Amino acid sequence: QVHLVASGGGVVQPGRSLRLSCAATELTFSRSGMHWVRQAPGKGLEWVADISYEGTNKYYADSVKGRFTISRDNSKNTLYLQMNSLRPEDTGVYYCAKDTSGWYLYYMDVWGIGTTVTVSS
Amino acid sequence: QSALTQPASVSGSLGQSITITCTGTGNDIGGYNFVSWYQQHPGKVPKFLIYDVSQRPSGVSNRFSGSKSGNTASLTISGLQAEDEADYYCCSYTRSSTLVFGGGTKLTV
């Protein structure tokens, strides 16, 4: 069973950048597609981005396209989310999640402990 | 990428059955059978409940079932138990190759 732990969250001013990491404990990470999902305080889940197992296919929600970049390093079993030009509405808990597939990314079967991002002046 | 539409809340009594609906468009739910459901207890990580509209992952109780008709997917929970009280989210693949969640439904038992 893959275990995921997200880190890198914190308090940042609007317009600044932050990079989140998600460390996976199992070797199956390199064969799995991965997602970032966020949840604003008291609100619902919002899908942010996903990436195929080998990193070639990446898709983004309209709300973050052009500002966020998802990437992975399979040699380190780690997923990343580079967040630039941050806005107050980006505030929330960010979860990383493993897909059931490596290529056709539809479902998130393992979720990590999230990391909290607060964008405020 | 508008969120899928779910009722904000539903309620039911112990042992009863409830259904949560999730309405989208032909660009998401209506166009694909890649619909999933997630359960989230307060302060906890979401749990994978249903995939491919109606399939249950290993370990998920058969009290949870899913279906779809046109642009609307549904999650039915039968034999309600106290531990079913949680937030439930639907999710669908979209024509843009992205995913979109519903706004979430709070179930009170």
Tell me the pLDDT tens digit for each residue of B11-48: 999 999 999 999 999 999 999 999 999 999 999 999 99
Round the average pLDDT of chain A to a whole number and report it: 96
Check if B75 contacts A (Cβ < 8 Å).
no
Helices (H) and strands (E) in chain A, counts: 0, 11
Residue of B nearest to A50 (CA): B98
pLDDT tens across A8-21, in order? 999 999 999 999 99
Contacts of B59 (CB under 8 A, 6+ apart): none
Per-residue model confidence as pLDDT tens digits over A42-84: 999 999 999 999 999 999 999 999 999 999 999 999 999 999 9
Instruction: Note which residues in 4-63 of chain B have CB less than 8 A from chain A.
Output: 34, 36, 38, 40, 45-48, 51, 57
Q: What is the pLDDT of residue A26?
A: 76
Give Cβ neighbours of residue A75 (< 8 Å, ≥ 6 apart): none
Q: Tell whether the model's pLDDT for residue A27 goes beyond 70.
A: no
